[in-house]
Structure 1
Amino acid sequence: MVELVHYEKKLTEDEYTEFEKLFSAKLPLSFKEHYIRINGGFLAEEDVENDLWGLPVGGFNPIKYGKVTIEQLVSDIESIENPDTGEEYQEGEYVPFAYDDGGHTIFISLKEGDYGHIYLYDCDGESFFQISEKFEKFISRLYKN
């Protein structure tokens, strides 16, 4: 199970339900379970030094109660475009929930064609690639076995 440090105040079920209303579809249950358990957070320095992380994730954005929340990111980013295909993800069709070591956005798609897929997006539009097909697979790949 992923353990993070410096996470934000725990979310209530009501807060999560209100958050989910911002989007075009319900978020995957595994996403909800993760955020109800731990609202954002960073990798423990000891885990990084011991090379325990399987993916280059810098941390998770909190849904609320933090400096850079998911709610804020959704309104700041507005849309995301895949430079290879031209496909756009409009506000409400994606959830930016984490970032890599370079500060690039990691988001989950809520679009019908790729619902639940996890992507890495460089806000400069130079990088866009799929990391995982499901949130639970993404979480399971975070720690090296």
Structure 2
Amino acid sequence: MRLIIEESEKKLNQNEFFEFQKYFSKKNPDEFRDFYLENNGGYLPETSHPSPLLFSGFISIKYGKIPIEKTYQDLIDDFPELKDMVPFAEDEGGNCFLLSLRDKDYGKIYIWLMDEKKLTFVCESFGEFINKLS
């Protein structure tokens, strides 16, 4: 099932995504790249059902008020242990969903619980995360 996203920012081209990847020590997984080349941030359509994972929306790359690059820099300034964790989405409480690019858990998805300053495992991959939202 394909995920419908609304209110995406300006569409990225390959060069813009390539520039984005320079923020990190490793290449982003293909499923993440493909998603962001199709949808640069945005929200799920409003429904009468509660949002899975208390999901709020995807953070955009390069464009928008606070893109991933800015969110990432702010996170690692305050929490250096989150280096090489891509903050790609938020939940309704303002917590960040993170994609790990670290050797020990590459590709896994976590949520950074801001109040508890705690990293919590969500799922095995970006594709699995998208499936949970579908």
* Structures share fold, TM-score greater than 0.5: yes
**TM superposition shift of 1:126:** 4.2
Q: Percent identical across equivalent pairs? A: 38
Q: Which structure is larger by alpha-carbon Rg, 1 or 2?
A: 1
Which aligned segments of 4 or more residues in structure 1 are displaced greater than 4 angstroms? none
Residue 84 of structure 1: aligned partner: none
Residue 29 of structure 1: aligned partner: 30
What's the secondary structure of 1:41's corresponding residue? coil
Q: Distance in 1 between matches of 2:77 and 2:101?
A: 13
Residue 113 of structure 1: aligned partner: 104
One-letter amino acid of the counterpart of residue 129, structure 1: T
Structure 1: gaps (5+ residues)? 82-86
**TM superposition shift of 1:127:** 3.9
Q: Distance in 1 between matches of 2:72 and 2:81?
A: 14
Q: Distance in 1 between matches of 2:116 and 2:39?
A: 30
Q: Distance in 1 between matches of 2:50 and 2:3?
A: 11
**TM superposition shift of 1:65:** 1.1
**Is 1:4 aligned to 2:8, yes or no?**
no
8 A contact 2:58–2:89 mirrored in 1? yes
8 A contact 2:60–2:68 mirrored in 1? yes
**Is 1:61 aligned to 2:59, yes or no?**
yes
Q: Distance in 2 between matches of 1:63 and 1:125?
A: 27
Q: Distance in 1 between matches of 2:128 and 2:100?
A: 14
Give matches, 1:81-120, under 5 Å.
Answer: 88-90=81-83, 93-120=84-111
**TM superposition shift of 1:53:** 4.3
